[in-house]
Amino acid sequence: MRRLPALACTLLSLAGLIGWAREAQALELFAPGEWRLQLIALLVAGAGVFAARRVQLSLGRAVGWVLACAGACWIWCLFALPWYERAWWWRLALPSGAISAWLLWAFAQSAARWVTLTRWLLVLLLTLPLLELALRAIDRARPSALLARGSSQPGAALERNRPKPGALRFRVPCNSQGHYDEEFAVRRIGEQRIAVIGDSFSQGSVPLAWHYTSVAERQLGIPVDNYGIAGIGVPEYAHLLRTEVLPRDPSVVVIALFAGNDLDVTPSEDHRPWEADWLDSNSVLVRLLPRRLARIAEERSRKQGLVAQVAGSAEQRSGVDEQLYPWLTDCALEIPTMSLEGFMRLERERERALAAWPASQAAELALQLDEMRRACGDRRFLVLLIPDELQVEDSLWNSVRTEGVKRDRAQQLLREALGSRGIEVLDLLPVLRASAPLTDGRLHLYHLQDTHWNARGNAVAGRALAEFLKD
């Protein structure tokens, strides 16, 4: 065991150096300053290998060293390197060489204080992987939105986020499938029936009579079923389509895509790297959970109100809704969902994501939507593009915009990708922006500091959907 560990560190560092040289042209695609990080890792790895070149390890300490290296490199990948599919291999090699070499030097020291230190270090480095396993086991036994992972299977993610049957939203109980609507029925012969699949925009943050699917239903005079569940995305839309929507045989299927969080899609499971489940930070709970808890604590410390967690009426504008929720007709009475600081941070993050959204993602998203369209057979299939508030409100856009970024860039890329596949698209961005402003010059189509439509926004979207479907 004398030279093998040092040789392994050397080979790992050389592999990283070769990978760095081969992939140098791709550095511009990664985080700014990537080349500095790799250069520092190279120097540290070299120094570590030099310091540990003559060390000896017993079999027990060699096993401990290997486990410590695995834990430390995993933690480094999660917290220091953004995930870029297969690209992480060469980006991780040099830092791993540096980490392994210096851990080798530490584990080879014979002084009592070093032995104690390395034992504690081993325990600490193995705690996070064990904690991750425990959190995943808890999530499997008792699914929770707090423990949702980016790589969760669509069916599991749906059940985690689906409201319980009978749960009240604005005084209206969710139906037996947990959807915010009346009970769904199988389409009868000669009947027209529309199914809308979406996330929190479709689950809704207004009373059901004011919801955009209800507005479209009244305009069209035919049932518009709302299959909206908050916190889901494109894989879950496809799962809902296959398992719940198509068995009821609707004549029209509408997929509602929100530009704020529906555009980034991963390749199908057949093409997703096997290691992504453990190395993609969006799939690892020990990194996700603290951030979620910190944001929840931050919002609670500001003692902000919540618009969407109240009750309402399914009756058609009977006057009860307006009495209970005066903000339905007077936007000035709306309660902010998030603090101003939290809301602006979220919108800045979304602006950066929209500015950097690549055409390859538009192509992948169009491919997955085309698969849904083919599953629908001869039914009419429509994609409803829902913009983020920053794309609609001029004042918000001017507060978060990046110079040179086009406001509708993401929509344009997606319209082109979907158009090339012959998929119908209703882009609501120009429709919403064409709304008449109120006295303060703002459109007020979204809840205050919320990013979801208020009653005014739902009305515009519902009428636009109905008009598009009539044509």
d(C-alpha 128, C-alpha 263), whole Å = 31
Angle between helices 59-80 and 285-302 (to 10 degrees): 40
pLDDT digits (tens, 9 = 90+) for 404-461: 788 889 999 999 999 999 999 999 999 999 999 999 889 999 999 888 999 999 999 9
Both 273 and 213 in a single domain? yes
- What lies within 8 Å, CB to CB, of 220 at 6+ separation is 194, 466, 469, 470
Chain-centroid distance, C-alpha 270: 20
Q: Which two tokens stand for residue 298?
A: 């931050």
**pLDDT score recorded for residue 298:** 66
Average pLDDT, the chain: 81
In this structure, what DSSP letter does residue 453 have? B
Q: Strands across the sheet with 380-386, in order?
A: 224-228, 194-198, 252-258, 380-386, 424-427
Both 106 and 196 in a single domain? no
* pLDDT above 70 (res 307): no
Residue 210 or 4, more confident: 210
pLDDT digits (tens, 9 = 90+) for 58-76: 777 778 878 888 888 888 8
Chain-centroid distance, C-alpha 307: 22
Q: How many distinct structural domains can be found in the chain?
A: 2
Residue 148 or 368, more confident: 368
pLDDT digits (tens, 9 = 90+) for 167-215: 888 888 899 989 999 999 899 888 999 999 999 888 888 999 999 999 9
- The answer to whether the CB of 71 falls within 8 A of the CB of 128 is yes
- The answer to whether the CB of 240 falls within 8 A of the CB of 258 is no
**pLDDT score recorded for residue 333:** 87
**pLDDT score recorded for residue 145:** 64
Work out the average pLDDT over 314-335: 73
23: pLDDT confidence band, cut at 50, 70 and 90?
Answer: low
**pLDDT score recorded for residue 83:** 58
- The answer to whether the CB of 161 falls within 8 A of the CB of 177 is no
d(C-alpha 13, C-alpha 351), whole Å = 38
Element (H, E) at 457: helix 455-470
* pLDDT above 70 (res 241): yes
Least confident of 183-192, 215-224, 297-306: 297-306
**pLDDT score recorded for residue 314:** 37
Both 107 and 201 in a single domain? no
Q: Give the CB-side neighbour count of residue 303, counting CA atoms within 13 A.
A: 0
Domain final residue, candidates 88, 107, 141: 141
**pLDDT score recorded for residue 97:** 80
Both 231 and 115 in a single domain? no
Residue 57 or 24, more confident: 57
CA angle 171, 173, 174 (to 5 degrees): 135
Q: Which amino acid is at 219?
A: Q
Work out the average pLDDT over 46-57: 72
**pLDDT score recorded for residue 250:** 94
- The answer to whether the CB of 63 falls within 8 A of the CB of 7 is no
Both 164 and 275 in a single domain? yes
Both 151 and 137 in a single domain? no
Domain final residue, candidates 115, 141, 167: 141
Residue 247 or 315, more confident: 247
Both 434 and 304 in a single domain? yes
Both 295 and 376 in a single domain? yes
**pLDDT score recorded for residue 286:** 86
* pLDDT above 80 (res 16): no
- The answer to whether the CB of 12 falls within 8 A of the CB of 93 is yes
For the domain that residue 335 is a member of, what is the CATH number? 3.40.50.1110
227: pLDDT confidence band, cut at 50, 70 and 90?
Answer: very high
**Which of 130-134, 165-169, 463-467 has maximum average pLDDT?**
463-467
Both 376 and 463 in a single domain? yes
d(C-alpha 180, C-alpha 197), whole Å = 12
- What lies within 8 Å, CB to CB, of 334 at 6+ separation is 307, 327, 447, 448, 454
- What lies within 8 Å, CB to CB, of 274 at 6+ separation is none
Both 115 and 197 in a single domain? no
Domain final residue, candidates 94, 124, 141: 141
Both 264 and 407 in a single domain? yes
88: pLDDT confidence band, cut at 50, 70 and 90?
Answer: low
**pLDDT score recorded for residue 105:** 78
Both 445 and 461 in a single domain? yes
**pLDDT score recorded for residue 32:** 53
d(C-alpha 221, C-alpha 199), whole Å = 24
Work out the average pLDDT over 250-275: 77
By CB atoms closer than 10 A (0-12, 13-18, 19+), residue 116 is exposed
Least confident of 84-93, 108-117, 257-266, 361-370: 84-93
Q: The domain containing residue 92 runs over which residues?
A: 4-141
Residue 350 or 104, more confident: 350
